[in-house]
Amino acid sequence: MVKHMPYSIIVTYAEDRQQLIVQAVDPARLTTIVAGKLEMPITLDEFDFKLDDAFARRLGAAMFSLIALGQPDIKQYMSMTYDPID
């Protein structure tokens, strides 16, 4: 199995190409870029440390909503549930 170094994930919506671009980046290289920018901590204990389907769905919905704040044209493709599903 290939061993990976720790990395951060960047998700970008390239509106002109209508593509989501996912990049893995060395966290140390992002330090100066993200300093002073919007930060939304997600405390894992609030979710009982369960990174399950429900958590992934809510995280994904939050990420797309954040992208849509800066690039509202993506909203036409969004159709998701934001609240937990029983």
pLDDT tens per residue across span 60-84: 999 999 999 999 999 999 998 777 6
Please say whether the dihedral angle defined by the alpha carbons of residues 41, 45, 46 and 47, taken in this order, is positive or negative. Answer: positive
Question: Residue 84 has what pLDDT?
Answer: 66
Distance CA 50, CA 46 (A): 9
- Residues facing 49 on adjacent strands: none
How confident is the model over 37-62, as a mean pLDDT?
A: 92
> Model-level pTM?
0.81
